[in-house]
Structure 1
Amino acid sequence: MMLLALSGILVLTVGGCVCVWWAARGGPRWTRVVSAATLATGELTRRASRYDRNPSGQDD
């Protein structure tokens, strides 16, 4: 079951990266929507991991 979940996450990640690449080259509207969602998710993940490393909540 865990392998299936990780495989699904991998497929979504690769698909999101492809949409970011395609949208940067003028792809259809839906690729720009998926691209924005992918970039926003990446930013949230980056901020969460930064917060985990610095519990005081202060950025270096």
Structure 2
Amino acid sequence: MALLILSGVLVLAVGGCVCVVWAARGGPRWVRAVATVTLAAGELVRRSSRTNRNSSLGRGGDSAD
């Protein structure tokens, strides 16, 4: 069951990346919408991991990467 869920997540991630590349080359409207959602989700994950890393180090706020 876990393998099925991880496979689904992998397919969604790869599909999102394909849409980002396709949208950069001027794809249809739905591809641009999927690319926007993919990039926003990536940004949320990046900010979440940065916040978790800072809190585990005992520091607050954003660090200079």
TM-score normalised by structure 2 residue count: 0.89
CA RMSD of aligned residues (A): 0.8
Greater RCO, CA 8 A, separation 6+: 1
Alignment of 1:11-50 (within 5 A): 11-50=11-50
**Structure index of larger Rg:** 2
Percent of aligned pairs with the same amino acid? 68
Which consecutive aligned stretches of 4+ in structure 1 deviate over 2 angstroms post-superposition?
Answer: none
Structure 2, unpaired ranges of 5+: none
Give 1:20 deviation, angstroms. 0.2
Deviation at 1:38, TM superposition (A): 0.1
